[in-house]
Amino acid sequence: MTGLFVTFEGGDGVGKSTQAAALEHWLRERGREVVRTREPGGTEVGERIRDIVLHHRGHIDPRAEALLYAADRAHHVATVVRPALDRDAVVIQDRYLDSSVAYQGAGRVLDAAQVRDLSLWAVNGLLPDLTVLLDLDEASARRRLDAVDKPFDRLEAEQAEFHARVRTAFLDLAAAEPGRFLVVDAALPVDEIAARVREQVAARLV
């Protein structure tokens, strides 16, 4: 693997898409090939899975939900992420396996270690070079979501207790792997967050 794999994590409404776009623009200005993608989704198969896990109106068993995310991740990494890294591109991705550990592990109260192992098996052990965790308390994140004129998806619509468990799980993951994670207060100005992200990416591109 010769490229750079950067993922953005955090609860809903923390600004992942904004920061991913800013990083993509900065890298392209410097002549780097960038593949910006997301999970679930990122492939034709993934978009179908995304529609199920985020917009299905009925109940989905938590284990089935975790397996659907893992299936999306396996196909996505095999067909998009690894080929991009192999040709020295920078992959910027909105959500990866840490989201499964936080949302399905902690949020759905499954065994977090089993959820992580499932994802690692699905992607043959691929971990990001840098994971940016945008951290924001769930009440502030909910106010941001409320300000957007669109219906909530299945996960956004969960209760505050669910989102509190997710946030705690993300912070625990970051504490366990400080070399991979950059934790940034998502309440900071957008430009300040972007500068901190750029600094970490630049150090890994040397």
State pLDDT tens for residues 152-193: 878 877 888 889 999 999 999 999 999 999 999 999 999 999
**pLDDT given for residue 32 in this prediction:** 96
pLDDT-derived band at 139, boundaries 50, 70, 90: confident
**pLDDT given for residue 4 in this prediction:** 98
**pLDDT given for residue 99 in this prediction:** 96
Write down the pTM of the prediction: 0.93
Q: In whole angstroms, what is the distance from residue 167 CA to residue 14 CA?
A: 11
**pLDDT given for residue 144 in this prediction:** 84
C-alpha 162 chain-centroid distance = 17
Q: In whole angstroms, what is the distance from residue 171 CA to residue 82 CA?
A: 27
* Secondary element (H or E) of residue 184: strand 181-185
Question: In the beta sheet, which residues pair with residue 36?
Answer: 92
Calculate Rg over the CA atoms of the chain. 16
State pLDDT tens for residues 45-93: 999 999 999 999 889 999 999 999 999 999 999 999 999 999 999 999 9
Q: In whole angstroms, what is the distance from residue 143 CA to residue 45 CA?
A: 32
User: Considering only the top CATH level, what class is 4-205?
Assistant: alpha beta
For the ranges 98-112, 115-129, 147-161, which has the lowest average pLDDT?
147-161
Question: At 103, is the secondary structure helix, strand, or coil?
Answer: helix
Q: Is residue 22 over pLDDT 70? A: yes
**pLDDT given for residue 206 in this prediction:** 74
Query: What is the torsional sign of CA 79, 81, 83, 89?
Result: positive
